[in-house]
A and B are shown apart, each in its own frame.
Chain A
Amino acid sequence: MRLSEVIQYAKGEVLNPSVFKDYEIVGGCGADLMSDVLTAAKPGAVLLTGLCNPQVVRTAEMADVRAVIFLRGKQPTPEMIELATQKNIPIISSQKGMFELCGQLYKAGLLGLEASWSDYHE
């Protein structure tokens, strides 16, 4: 699925259009806990989150997240947008809830890009 399609589902707005590219998105990861993202998100995922602070962008950078969608109408600060732009990560703001958007994207064929958690509980 293209990032532009993901944005259509999200009814979202790209906040740093200068780094927007219509990437092929191979999967998604939904989390508010950044440690979970760092643990389980695979490189190239689009991150859906209700959390809105600079650490989300840092986490996205560390975990090689391709794009971040801030849900529930959360508005990142100009500093966060600037950081994401520096790190070449498109960020998108959406009014939708986490459950709803995850569900819609999954139904539309986007894979979950979280590793199976059973791998982490040996």
Chain B
Amino acid sequence: MSDSLQELYGRTGRTITDRDAQDITRVEELSYDLKTSDVMTRDVQCLAPMDTMRAVFDLLRKYHISGAPVTENDTLVGVISQEDLMRAMADGDQHAPIQKYMTKKVITVKSYEPVVKALEIFARTKIGRLPVVDENEKLAGMITKGDITRGVLIAIRKDYQEEEIRRYRASHLFEDIISDRTSLILRYKIKPRDFTNGGQASSHIKRALLRLGASPQLARQCGIAVYEAEMNLIFHSNNGGVLRVQVEPRRILMQTSDDGPGIPDVKQALQPGWSTASELARSMGFGAGMGLVNIQRCVNKMDLESAPGKGTKLFMEIHLRSDEKFKAPPESPEGPGV
């Protein structure tokens, strides 16, 4: 993983794009999320230490497997492999008990450990299959690289389907409802000087956009713009204000409005680094006069209307690229004919 990431992100001075950085794979996350017990094979053919090597031969041949765990009262006491069997055969010792030939020091993985733990062992030891034991060292199953691949694929497919259904439910709004102009409006009241909850509205907006099928980049872009705007209301407005987001199939309109104090010189306010922020705003990590500049960078159109004593209105508009516009997936997830 590390090598491929290195290759992907490069030490060659190539700029890392947003898309690259977001590519930190779901697969990698899954290897931490999934437990070995989620992907292991539970139905395992076991042998007992006092079974004969002949029984090993029969079992391996019957199930076309290359080895089997050896258990005593469900507790793992060893593993026996094709190679052990060949040694016994070479000794003409097919009636010997398994315990004479089995490997007693077995590398295992715990059923509650993440899949990545098993992957680490596979990489380190070149072992192809690992017994999975529970907290009491009882055999719970066996795990192979194939089990992990299958488990991850199933999880991804499930993820993907859930996500598609969620998005479909939200985004078909724009497809199924016919009007000359369809839009979804989200409104949030922002309280002045509410630093504890500052950013909560923006957080909700970002989440809503993702639900509606926005790409992570688009959601991030909007999130950053509305967050700066929300913080402006919190820091500067007399009585708070309203944050309003209007989602349309091809654009997102965002707007904040308040009833004062208003900005005396709008042109000056748009200068990078110009700030009238309080010490408090600065202590919160804002108020360096970069907020509006940052918003401008995130949106396609920005308009600031303000006059002292009258309040401030900030309009922001993001146009969706044609491949980004909100739309339902081509087929309904329930499948045709339902």
Contact = CB atoms under 8 A, between A and B. Distances in A.
Contacts of B21: 26-27, 42-45, 64, 113
B22 A44 contact: yes
Contacts of A55: 195, 198-199, 231, 284-286
Contacts of B180: none
Contacts of A23: 24, 28-29
Contacts of B224: 38, 62-63
Interface string A18-31: 00011110110000
A32 B282 CA distance: 10
A120 B202 contact: no
Contacts of B288: 33, 35-36
B121 to A, nearest CB: 16
A90 to B, nearest CB: 12
A33 B285 contact: yes
B18 A43 contact: yes
A62 B24 contact: no
Interface in A10-60: 21-24, 26-27, 32-36, 38-39, 42-45, 49, 51, 53-56, 58-59
Interface string B299-314: 0000000000000000
B220 interface: yes
A111 interface: yes
A7 to B, nearest CB: 15
Contacts, number: 120
B16 to A, nearest CB: 6
A115 interface: yes
A53 B195 contact: yes
B28 A64 contact: no
B291 A24 contact: no
B233 to A, nearest CB: 14
B199 A43 contact: no
A59 B11 CA distance: 28
B297 interface: yes
Contacts of A49: 285
Contacts of A109: 11
A5 to B, nearest CB: 10
Contacts of B32: 21-22
Given A58-B199, A61-B203, A51 B220 contact: no
Nearest to A43: B21
Contacts of B220: 43, 62-64
B216 A24 contact: no
Interface in B19-44: 20-22, 24, 28-29, 32
B322 interface: no
Nearest to B203: A61
Nearest to A52: B285
B294 interface: yes
A100 interface: no
Interface in B88-134: 116
A59 B227 contact: yes
A39 B297 contact: yes
B5 interface: yes
B16 A21 contact: no
20 contacts: A24-B1, A24-B24, A26-B20, A26-B21, A35-B285, A35-B291, A36-B290, A38-B224, A43-B216, A53-B285, A55-B198, A55-B286, A56-B285, A58-B200, A58-B202, A62-B203, A64-B220, A79-B196, A111-B9, A121-B272
Interface of B: 1-2, 5, 9, 11, 15-18, 20-22, 24, 28-29, 32, 116, 195-196, 198-200, 202-203, 206, 216, 220, 223-224, 227-228, 231, 272, 283-286, 288, 290-291, 293-294, 297
